[in-house]
Amino acid sequence: MQRRQFLKTAGLGAAGVAAAPFVSSAHAQETYTWDMVTSWPKNFPALGTGANDFAKRVEQLSNGRMTIRVHGAGELVPALEVFDAVAAGTAEMGHSTPYYWRGKLAASQFFTAVPFGMTTTEMNAWLYHGGGQELWDEIYAKHNLKPFAVGNTGPQMAGWFKKEINSLADMQGLKLRLPGLAGEAMNGIGVSTVNLPGSEIFTSLQTGVLDAADWVGPYNDMAFGLHQVADYYYTTVWNEPTATVETMINLDAWNELPEDLQDVIREAARASNLAMFTEFAYRNAQALETLVDEHGVQLRELPEDVIQALYESSQTVIQRQVESDDDSRRVYESYSAFQQVMRPFSDIGEYAYFKGREQVGGQSA
């Protein structure tokens, strides 16, 4: 009944493709040049190039009326200061991921990834059809920002470890790079976590500042050379079953745009969201083969007692979050209700298919 009620109240608000309004010939001559600051190294595979692709789509769809100049992390502002820079108007746009801002806006974490939460397909369905975008707009507006999903990494690896993990006891005291709710859950089982920009992970592992680190997945991890400083690669997806990449826009700048250019940004964001997700799916498959066959990376799964402890810690972290912050409560109520709507079909759909495919021969089927 809860699922049916949610469908009645939220599902009817499905977003569609907006039609560009009529624009006078004089108005159509106006041009806009914006700066976009990012949390990624300039031209970094998929993430940095995803920012470039989004900017290119906006320029093409606007017939050249809008140009976005993309700046890599550190060129105008540091990687983890994108939120403040765009809110203040230092740049009109940012390209990053929402859980980086948990210290400024706790509810933002639910728009990137929730441990043991929704998949990419489910997450996009919530944003586009289940009220997620409206909530995201509401809480970012308090900081003078307008957000859009412009990409997704898909499921992320559990991370690189310098030693093998055989039990929960092996996790105690480890220093791990892991952001968001998952990082807090790791703290709850005896791990010490920090959030660092991706560009600092290699050196931190190499020098012993870190014992382990998550980044993204095989494609981006190999690009940073993480296989050169850690031997064990843990595949168990618990921390980020999806990971949304965002563009945030200074709300004053957004409100000054004519409606047709706002529609251009909306549709460019949708296209970029799909493009990045599919690129990661393909590139990760290629990179994983290279890591294992050419570099001898040791793939491992986290032990059952570690996964169970992480699940229990995740539930504690989420409950504490929603009890202490009203925005987090409202967002998570919507998120979890939509997950319950999606789960029955997800279970009999893709999940059942994966199990069946493995039973009859896995890849050879």
**Which segments are annotated as binding site for substrate?**
156, 177, 214, 240
Query: Phi/psi zone of residue 191: left (φ > 0), alpha (ψ -120 to 50 degrees), beta?
Result: beta
Task: Indicate the annotated binding residues.
Answer: 156, 177, 214-215, 240
> SS3 for 267-288, per residue?
HHHHHHHHHHHHHHHHHHHHHH
Smallest CA-to-CA distance from 320 within 106, 162, 139 is with: 106
| d(C-alpha 31, C-alpha 65), whole Å | 5
CB 253 within 8 A of CB 321: no
Q: Could you tell me the two tokens for 63?
A: 């017939």
Q: How far is CA 58 from CA 142, 271, 357, in A?
A: 26, 10, 40
Sheet architecture: strand order including 66-71: 66-71, 32-38, 93-96, 244-250, 145-152
CB under 8 Å to 11, separation ≥6 — which residues?
A: 129, 130, 341
Q: Could you tell me the two tokens for 350?
A: 């893709």
What DSSP string runs through 11-41? GGG---PPPPPP--HHHHT--EEEEEEESS-
CB-facing half-sphere around the CA of 209: CA atoms within 13 A: 12
Q: How far from each other are the two terminal CA atoms of the chain, in whole angstroms? A: 39
Task: Indicate the annotated binding residues for Na(+).
Answer: 215
CB 278 within 8 A of CB 141: no
| d(C-alpha 216, C-alpha 84), whole Å | 24
